[in-house]
Amino acid sequence: MLKLLGATSVAGLAGCSGNGEGDGGDGSGESTASATRSVGGTYVSASSVDAQSLNWLTIADATSGSFVTATLDGIWAIKPNREIFPLWGDYATDDGRVYEIQLRDNLEWGAGYGQMTADDWVYMIQNIFQAQPNWSGYPNAADWFQTNPESGQREPIPVEQTGELTFEIRLFEVDPSFPFKPVLWRQQCIPRGILEQYVEDQDAEGLQQDEELNTLAYTGNLGPYTYDTWERSARYTVTRNEDYYLRDVEGVPDRFAEAPYFDQQTVRVISEESTRLGALESGEVDSAGIPPDKANRFENLPNVTVNVTPQPYLRMIVYNMRSNGWEPFRSKAVRRALGFAVNKESVVQNVLRGYADVAQTMQPEWSDWYDDSQVEEFGVGDRYGPEETRTRLESALSGTEYGYDGERLVDGSGEQVTLSIYYDSGQPTEGTIAEFVAQEFGENAGIDVQPEAVSAPTFQSNYVQTSAPDGTDPEWTAGTFNGGPRDVATSANSWDMSINLQFNTYPFTPASSKGFFERRGGINFYGYYPEEDISALYEEATATTDEERRRELFGEAFGLISEEQPFGFLAMPSSVTGYAETVRGYDEEFNTGWDSQAWYFA
Amino acid sequence: MRWYVVRRVLWAVVATFLILSVTWGLLAITPNPAAEQMQFQAAASGGSAEAAEEAFEARRGLDRSPWVRYQEYMTNMVTLNWGWSQSRSQPVIDAIAAALPYTAIYSVPTTILSILIGLAIGLYSATNQYTKSDYAATFFAFFGYAIPNFWFGIILLLVFGVQLGWFPVVFDSDIPFFSLGMARQLVLPVVVLVTGTIAGVMRYSRAEALEYVEAEFVKTAKSKGADGYRILTRHILRPAAVPLVTILVGDILGIFLAASYLVEVVFGIPGLGQLSYNAILAQDTSLVLGTTLIFTFVSVVGNLVQDVAYTVLDPRIDYGDR
């Protein structure tokens, strides 16, 4: 019988056993002995935007989420090495379908709401997350519905309380990735006593404006810090929680023994980049994000340490294969040939200043699911250059009206092929990439590419949203971004290529990118029809509990994606952050902030 | 005069109603980028774009008819219950009350200094026309006018904040309002705004004063032995002040309200400029209407004060029973 467990056993939650995990190996600055940690100081970070709310039921932005997470841990975290680290609770499953969640027994709400129990969770899930209609407007409600294979309908995932501190989630189908999805990962909870005031009357306004929710008055001992002040557009301050539950838990790494290690944490909202960076340089803030073109200067400053962490966001050329794009993009051979036209190393080194990794498929190279032996590389080494591009492109276009006239790729009337490439007008780096791609296509493929700037909202509404013309009834439709077959449904404006959007590759839950490679995928605004059945591989991998087999299947899927070149994969930019040289705890790994409560000043 | 003021106030109410209605209408028909982004993110992670849109509408109260929403917003405006700011999770009144002092604390000294320095330089230039000091004053005024506030602010921050460390780089809202620390961190924003504002006051006051420098009554005063200060303040400034009021009251209010966003962004001041701009970006209807009302009020009152000031400065002007 298969038994999947998190990092600690369920018994360990009650303080009866430890997980024996030592300090080391999971990328959290653990090489520093805990003896060097001491409590003190105010950690000040800079943010370019402010939060919208501290009432997390109403928010969908990352900044608001990070403000709340400082005071509410959530049920578990994921370590960079893709291990679950239980915070409020852990899970157990026999079959990858039914998950039993066990809460710790030392979790206390604030504001007199008593102990956190399974009843709080089940009440919240059933009455808020799974309410029909979604009266509260909870932004992630869709996560709590799945298609029931028996009825073929999307239904609420059954959730049931099984004890004072335990409840079960019964998925309709096996999903071993479930704990890694942002369904329960860092999921927070609200006392039933607060929610009950609004559920019966479905009082969305009351819930939104509840004072206890908006001042985080209920957080008790559930997070490393407690809410202090939030001065909008200026600063958010939290104070060390003297009763933090994790300090009393046996079996967690030593570095959590006195966590958190800052007396206070403050986020200062500084929207202007130059001011933000000036504040970092002058020591007025202890951390701030740094754009790649400025990173080199900060690497030379003695009072700032630059930390570079890989990110899962993909920078690529999206080809428009719908009828208002360039039709040859529909050919796999053409897309593969164009894969030889752009030097990806140059994109990484010259445009992104070395703060990025070359991308070859829908998964970063550092991911568990990336299989070198399966992935076909393009745009690097001898798989890049004019000769390589032209011979392949000529062959791919044989039998069509297109062909080479000397250095130029021409159409049937002898005119050079001219294509557009769109980029975000508010992103200078994107503009540089677009110019570089245009230059590479011109020199290596003989195609004249014209970069076009467009604002993000305009691109979204006029280029990404697709629909069939009025009066047409398409054979099928898959929503706002895939309004039907590519010969019928198009965007309002025509386009050929774009680099406006970055796609998440989901290295913790790779199956989440399935929709990109399905003809009827909800995100397939570019009209890609895969030649291989990539989504079948995704589905098989999703339902496989054997970790090794899943790795094989996903490896094969990402290999096929690299072979088909649905996008012109370019790079995965890294996150560059500058820290005051006294800050300790962060690491050069993806998701390095998962244990930020153990960070400290040297 | 009283009837004139009453009519102006009544017209201000009508104008405010129209401005708020148009603002509301524009917001209602503008697609919300945040909603579209949420739909895209939902679709990209395998979810439903339509469900994301419905959730967004439920949160924002957009699942009601436009007429119901319009009525609610306008009723809120009239009853001074300006509603709830969706982008800041606080009552609109609280948001404005929190932001207003931060705008006032740099705009009041800016306005006073702009008037004093601009007038002084303008009058000096008028009485010393085409001298080297007149050219120097004109150069100084136009330097501030020509240089973009945004860029100038960043340069000052980098030089005097980061390199020399004389002033803090980031505005600290925790510092008490009436303290040396607050004055210190306001130096750079006020310098940026004052340099950007005095050129208009200076050139305008110079031009107006020049009309009277060679006037017969000024020559008479000079021949009677009046000293330079008396001539300047009593015989030149007094008649020149009437047209100057137009710029002193109206334009300066407009200038600092328009400029405040840029300065607030550069220096991180949580004032009305940032508040209103961010509210528009977030399509936070209640907050946009609340801040619009504030700006409309400032403009209307500014114009009214300007008209009344004419009668005080020049007794020949009388609105009578108009």
* Nearest residue in chain B measured CA to CA from A140: B52
Mean pLDDT, rounded, for A181-193: 94
Instruction: State the pLDDT at residue B37.
Output: 81
Identify the three-state secondary structure at position A159. strand
Answer whether B270 sits within 8 Å of A234, measured CB to CB.
yes
Tokens 């290999």 -> residue = A559
Average pLDDT over residues A5-31: 36
CB contact under 8 A, B36 and A460: yes
Q: Where are the alpha helices (DSSP H) in A290-358?
A: 292-299, 332-338, 344-346
Cis amide prior to A469 (ω within 30 degrees): no
* Token reading at B163: 């390199």
Q: What is the pLDDT of residues A255-294, one digit of tens each?
A: 999 999 999 999 999 999 999 999 999 999 999 999 988 9
CA distance A307 to chain B (A): 22
Predicted pLDDT at A261:
96
Q: How confident is the model at residue A100 (pLDDT cuts 50, 70, 90)?
A: very high
> In this complex, do A134 and B49 lie within 8 Å of one another by their Cβ atoms?
no
Please report the pLDDT score of residue A349 as a whole number: 95
Torsion sign across C-alpha atoms B57, B62, B65, B68: positive
Show the DSSP H helices in chain B as ranges: 2-29, 33-44, 49-60, 66-78, 92-127, 132-146, 149-156, 180-213, 216-223, 228-230, 238-245, 252-267, 272-281, 285-313
User: Taking 60 as the threshold, does the pLDDT of residue A418 lie above it?
Assistant: yes
Tokens of A31: 């090489």
Has residue A422 got a pLDDT over 60? yes
CA B303 to chain centre: 14
State the Cα–Cα distance between residues A290 and A450, nearest whole angstrom: 30
Q: Is the pLDDT of residue A16 over 70?
A: no
How far is CA A490 from each of CA A152, A320, A494, B67, rounded to the nearest angstrom? 29, 10, 8, 33
pLDDT of residue A9 exceeding 50: no
H or E element, residue A78 = strand A76-78
Compare A183 and B38 and report the one with higher pLDDT: A183
Q: DSSP secondary-structure letter at A376?
A: P
pTM across the whole model: 0.86
Closest in B49, B61, B278 to A522, CB measured = B49
pLDDT category of residue B15 using cuts at 50, 70 and 90: confident
Which residue is it, tokens 């607060």?
Answer: A194
Please report, for residues A223, A400, A558, A593, the alpha-carbon distance to residue A584 in angstroms, rounded to integers and kept in the order given.
20, 60, 36, 12
Q: Do B84 and A208 touch (CB under 8 A)?
A: yes
Confidence of residue A29 (pLDDT cuts 50, 70, 90): very low
Residue A12, pLDDT above cutoff 50: no
From the list A142, A231, A503, the residue facing B47 with the nearest CB is A142
Q: Look at residue B321 in the predicted model and tell me its pLDDT.
A: 55
Q: Could you tell me the two tokens for A173?
A: 């189908």
Which comes out higher in pLDDT, residue B294 or A19?
B294
Which of A141, A142, A231 is nearest residue B270 as measured by Cβ atoms? A231
Question: In the numeric block, which tokens belong to residue A390?
Answer: 């032209």
Distance between CA atoms of residues A325 and A323, nearest Å: 5
Indicate whether B200 pLDDT > 60.
yes
Q: How far is A436 from chain B (nearest CA, A)?
A: 27
pLDDT tier at B34 (50, 70, 90 boundaries)? confident
The pair phi, psi for residue A148, each rounded to 5°, is: -85, 115
pLDDT at A8: 34
Question: Can you give the pLDDT at residue B16?
Answer: 85
* pLDDT, position A483: 93
For residue A512, list chain B residues with Cβ-Cβ distance below 8 A.
45-46
The helix/strand/coil state of A471 is: coil
Burial A258-278 (b: 16+ CB within 10 A, else e): bbbbbebbbbbbbbbbbbbbb
Residue written as tokens 């994790």? A246
Residue A270, sorted as left (phi over 0), alpha (psi -120 to 50) or beta, turns out to be: beta
Spatial distance between the Cα atoms of B75 and A32, rounded to a whole number of angstroms: 61
A196-216: average pLDDT: 95
pLDDT above 70 covers what percent of chain A? 94
Instruction: Provide the shortest C-alpha distance from residue A204 to chain B (in Å).
Output: 7
- The confidence band for A14, taking pLDDT boundaries of 50, 70 and 90, is very low
Report the share of chain B in percent with pLDDT over 70: 94
What pLDDT, on a 0 to 100 scale, did the predictor assign at position A403?
95
Amino acid at A570: L
Closest partner residue to A279 (CB to CB) among B59, B170, B278 is B170
CB neighbourhood size of B321 (10 A): 8
User: Is there a contact between B88 and A504 if contact means CB atoms under 8 Å apart?
Assistant: no
Which residues are CB-neighbours of B272 under 8 A, at least 6 positions away?
A: B96, B99, B100, B102, B103, B257, B260, B291, B294
Structure confidence at residue A450 (pLDDT)? 97
Express each pLDDT in B256-277 by its tens digit. Answer: 565 578 889 899 999 988 898 8
Average pLDDT over residues A203-216: 95
Closest residue in B to A278 (Cα) is B162
Answer whether residue A11 shows pLDDT above 50.
no
pLDDT of B33 over the 50 cut: yes
- Are A121 and A101 in contact by the 8 Å Cβ rule? The answer is yes
**Mean pLDDT over residues B41-56, rounded?**
82
Shortest CA distance from A522: residue in chain B: B43
Test the A interface: residue of B93, B166, B170 with most A CBs within 10 Å = B170
Q: With bands split at pLDDT 50, 70 and 90, how would you rate the model's confidence at B253?
A: low
Cross-chain Cβ contact B173/A235 below 8 Å: yes
Output DSSP code: residue A58.
Answer: G
- Residues in chain B within 8 Å Cβ distance of A460: 33, 36-37, 40
Listed as own residue / partner, the contacts of B3-9 with beta carbons closer than 8 Å and 24 or more positions apart are: B3/B321, B3/B322, B4/B319, B4/B320, B4/B321, B4/B322, B5/B304, B5/B308, B8/B304, B8/B307, B9/B304
Of the two residues A421 and B62, the one the predictor is more confident about is A421
Residues facing A236 on adjacent strands: A230, A267
| pLDDT single digits (tens) A468-523 | 998 888 999 998 999 999 999 999 999 999 999 999 999 999 998 999 999 999 99
ipTM of the complex: 0.82
- Among A601, A551, A589, A600, residue whose Cα is nearest residue A78: A589
Residue A91's pLDDT band (cuts 50, 70, 90): very high
A479 vs B304: which has the higher pLDDT: A479
- CA-based end-to-end distance of chain A: 47
Name the pLDDT band for A2 (thresholds 50, 70, 90).
very low
Contacts of A130 in chain B (CB under 8 A): none
**Tokens representing A175?**
């999903």
Rounded CA separation B254/B276 (Å) = 15
Contact A497, A422 (CB under 8 A): yes
Positive/negative CA dihedral, B256, B261, B265, B266 = negative
Gap between the Cα atoms of B21 and A307, Å rounded = 50
Residues of B in contact with A233 (CB under 8 A): 99, 270, 274-275, 278
Answer yes or no: is pLDDT of B58 > 60: yes
pLDDT above 90 (res A42): yes
The mean-pLDDT minimum among A522-526, A574-578, B3-7, B218-222 falls in: B3-7
Between B311 and A92, whose confidence is greater?
Answer: A92
- The reply to whether residue B170 touches residue A233, judged by beta carbons under 8 angstroms, is no
Average pLDDT over residues B206-233: 85
Backbone angles phi, psi at A440, to 5 degrees: -65, -45
